[in-house]
Amino acid sequence: MDALETLKKYWGHDSFRPMQKEIIDRALDGGDVLAILPTGGGKSVCFQVPCLMKEGLALVVTPLIALMKDQVQNLEARGIRAVALYAGMTRREIDLALNNAAYGDFKFLYVSPERLGTALFKSYLEVLNINYIVVDEAHCISQWGYDFRPDYLQIGELRRAVDAPVIALTATATPRVAQDIMDRLSADGREFTLMKSGFERENLNYIVRECSDKLGQVLTVCNSVPGSGIIYLRSRSKCEELSARLKAEGLSVAFYHAGLGPQARASRQEAWKRGEIRIMVCTNAFGMGIDKPDVRLVIHMDLPESPEAYFQEAGRAGRDGKTSYAVLLWNRTDLQRASKLERTSFPELEYIADVYQKLHIYNSIPYDQGENRQVKFDLAEFCAHFKLERSRVHYSLVYLERSGHITYSEDVDIPTRVQIVRSRNELNDLVFDDPLLGDVLEALMRGYPGIFSFAVCINEERFCAACGVSVEHLHRLLYRLSLEHVIKYIPCERSSVIVLHHNRLQPGNVDMQPQRYEMLLQNYRDRCAAMAGYVTQDSECRSRYLLKYFGQENSTLCGRCDVCRAKGSKGELNLLREYLAAHPNATIEDIKALALNPSSGFTPRVLELYRLLSR
């Protein structure tokens, strides 16, 4: 079966998207490849198809736990077996998953990067028949990347232990980042091929608006552009507040952020994907890996932290190729806030070193102990205990991760766990007043090997579908069984998790890597400057500005962004004349509405043109 037949069999598509076939062919030839494809370019197919065509399983390294789980579910829905390892799993659960990957009929093993260096994972390398090493979000391995992760550097060591070609993928990489990725992933005697798709999005209209009344602008845009949309904010509380205000205006809206429980997030995401919710107001926790092609509108109400983040988030609009809008609202206060955020994002090294010690004190870890320990972490409780500012502690932990001391996984879903504590003989003698209790117990025994020996993770949605009960009903049944002392029931929870990479060090012995700190600070300043330049300049095509940032020097004017439209005022004048001929009773208020509507073809300059015509 060739690549196209594999695509047709599992995905039902008759053709590949641009660059997919070339990347797949290179991977099938056994060469290492770095693929840079824009958001929505179909990166997962580029490694899933060649893996299915070869014996063995693909080892997929990705830092995005939500995306990892989503891809595993999507693969299993297509009849392809996949398993994932991530923060929050116990050693026994990881051992069982690795054993299944090694000896079961699995094609994909998804791994978060911090797992690569553990002794348990390394002990399985010889028996894992790995056909490809896949590095998703590959910019994380580059010190110049906007989301550098030291755990990714272990992939270089993995290459020395596993003789398999690499497929590295990312949506955002500058030329310097791309070269750094290939340098860090290259192996002796193997040629690395860079395959890069053009970043132009011919259907996407970039609109930048400087305004003081952002809420009014949002209402105008949402009422003017039909279809599904996303509104990004950087604050959880602002998401909830804006969602309530838009609902009060009659819009179909919900909010989404990492502070919601797993069931709430899953139900809202599915309702939005089905079109039951039109607009999702969210932090950047929403959108990654979501396959919804008909998003017509992405609005940013806060200034994104980098062109890379903005390009990814804006690119979630119009994946079906139809006309869509990426609208960024800003004012001078946003620029001042971005400048002030630098102090919060980069606490002093002495402060970060103090947070390192307090983290160990909080978990009662003495000096020279703690290596590879995994601890649950509640940021609010930690800061209250030590009377510290939450945002500065958060960014201190981020830097401790980037300097290789810890792995910091925020808001991890730790699934429901169940262990049967009665023997099989004892279970035969049990009589329940509710027959569903017996049905659930039977399904647990059949579906989860080892459940008598240790607590196993339960996929609640899949289990409920098999048993014909709701998730809420399942929780009540499991609780009843625990009260009868039949099972040990550990409900699902949501927690941040920190993995300590080494034993606790004495004060003064913690390597704070000041040179890395200065480099990251300068990179941060450069990205902030590039983002500020994007919104404040009004002479260069928005699309061309972004493409130039990513190293694509030769590009045409998009003709659709607010800058291109403003430059085309002669055409806009003719368009206005046509509008007035068709609407002879139009008022200045009608013209203002046209100016505020990004899909009308007019810009704010139309008000000036209208006044000129009215003289």
pLDDT score at 446: 85
Residue 581, token pair as written in the block: 């001929």
Q: What is the pLDDT of residue 186?
A: 87
Give Cα separations from 236 to 38, 104, 108, 239, 319 (angstroms): 27, 42, 34, 5, 26
Say if residues 308 and 530 touch (Cβ distance below 8 Å).
no
The sign of the torsion formed by the CA atoms of 282, 287, 291, 297 equals positive
List, as one string, the DSSP characters of 276-345: SS-EEEE-TTS-TT---TTEEEEEESS--S-HHHHHHHHTTS-TTSS-EEEEEEE-HHHHHHHHHHHHHH
Residue 434 pLDDT = 86
What is the rounded CA–CA span in Å between residue 562 and residue 205?
8
pLDDT in tens, 7-59: 999 888 888 888 899 999 999 999 999 999 877 668 899 999 999 999 999 99
Q: Answer whether residue 208 shows pLDDT above 90.
A: yes
DSSP category for residue 232: E
Among candidates 340, 349, 300, 331, which has minimal Cα distance to 520? 349
pLDDT, residue 299, reads 97
Query: Crossing angle for the helix pair 605-614 and 588-596, nearest 10 degrees?
Result: 160
CA distance 435 to 220: 55
Average pLDDT, the chain: 88
What pLDDT sits at residue 615?
Answer: 56
The pLDDT score that the predictor gives to residue 123 is: 92
Asked whether the beta carbons of 549 and 310 are under 8 A apart, the reply is: no
* Cα dist from 223 to 79, 201, 216, 227, whole Å: 42, 24, 11, 10
Apex CA 297: angle with CA 296 and CA 300, to 5°?
Answer: 160
Question: What gap in Å lies between CA 364 and CA 51, rounded to an integer?
Answer: 45
E-strand spans in 476-586?
487-490, 493-500
- Give the tokens for residue 610: 């209208």
CB-side neighbour CA atoms (13 Å) of 157: 13
Tell me the per-residue pLDDT of 113-165, one tens digit each, with 9 for 90 and over.
Answer: 888 888 899 999 989 999 999 999 999 898 887 788 888 888 988 888 898 99
**Which stretch of DSSP H or E encloses residue 73?**
helix 65-77
Nearest by Cα to 221 from 325, 352, 344 = 325
In the chain, what percentage of residues exceed pLDDT 70? Answer: 96
> What is the residue type of 37?
L
Per-residue pLDDT at 197: 80
Look-up: residue for tokens 């004349």?
577
Residues 6+ apart with CB under 8 A from 500: 360, 365, 370, 371, 372, 373, 374, 375, 405, 406
* pLDDT at res. 189: 67
Distances (CA, A) of 258 to 24, 234, 427, 495, 613: 35, 12, 40, 10, 51
Q: How far is Cα 84 from Cα 75, in angstroms, rounded to an integer?
A: 12
* 528-563 pLDDT per residue, tens: 999 999 999 988 889 999 999 988 888 777 878 888
Mean pLDDT of the region 205-218? 94
pLDDT-derived band at 1 (thresholds 50, 70, 90) equals confident
- Asked if residue 259 lies in contact with residue 411, where contact means CB atoms within 8 angstroms, the answer is yes
187 compared with 182, residue with greater pLDDT: 182
The structure's pTM equals 0.77
Check if the beta carbon of residue 273 is closer than 8 Å to that of residue 290: yes
pLDDT of residue 293: 87
Contacts of 212-215 with CB under 8 Å at 24 or more apart are 212/331, 214/301, 214/329, 214/331, 215/242, 215/245
Question: Per-residue pLDDT for 569 more than 60?
Answer: no
* 427-465 residue pLDDT tens: 888 888 888 888 888 889 888 878 888 888 887 877 887
Q: DSSP class of residue 104?
A: S
Angle at 94 between CA 90 and CA 96, to 5 degrees: 115
Q: What per-residue confidence (pLDDT) applies to 272? A: 93
Q: Given a cut of 70, is residue 105 above it in pLDDT?
A: yes
Question: Has residue 606 got a pLDDT over 90?
Answer: no
Residues sharing a CB contact under 8 Å with residue 164, sequence separation 6 or more, in sequence order: 59, 130, 131, 132, 133
- Please write the tens of the pLDDT for every residue from 349-408: 999 999 999 999 999 999 999 998 989 899 999 999 999 999 999 999 999 999 989 989
Over residues 215-223, mean pLDDT: 94
CA distance 308 to 314: 10
- Which residues 6+ apart lie within 8 Å of 30 measured at CB? 165
Per-residue model confidence (pLDDT) at position 321: 86
pLDDT at 612 over 80: no
Query: Is residue 568 very low, low, confident or very high in pLDDT (cuts 50, 70, 90)?
Result: low
Per-residue confidence (pLDDT) for residue 124, from 0 to 100: 93
Question: Strand 130-135 to strand 166-170: parallel, antiparallel, or no bridges (unpaired)?
Answer: parallel
Given a cut of 70, is residue 234 above it in pLDDT?
A: yes
Residues sharing a CB contact under 8 Å with residue 335, sequence separation 6 or more, in sequence order: 303, 532, 536
Q: What is the pLDDT of residue 26?
A: 93
CA dihedral 418, 423, 424, 428 (to 10 degrees): -100
Can you name the residues that pair with 500 across neighbouring β-strands?
406
- Identify the pLDDT of residue 322: 92
Structure tokens at 306: 């980098």
Confidence (pLDDT) at 571: 61
pLDDT at residue 424, as a whole number? 85
- Bridge partners (DSSP) of residue 57 are 130
Q: Is the pLDDT of residue 492 over 90?
A: no
Residue 373 to residues 87, 116, 142, 368, 405: CA-CA distances in angstroms? 12, 15, 26, 12, 12
In this predicted structure, the answer to whether residue 474 has a pLDDT above a threshold of 80 is yes
Beta bridge partners of 525: none
Q: b vs e for 254-290, b when ≥16 Cβ sit within 10 Å of the residue's Cβ?
A: bbbbbebebeebebbbeebeeeebbbbbbbbbbbebb
- Ramachandran angles phi, psi of 280, nearest 5°: -105, 120
Model pLDDT, residue 173: 86
Question: Count of residues for the chain?
Answer: 615
Percentage of the chain surpassing pLDDT 90? 48
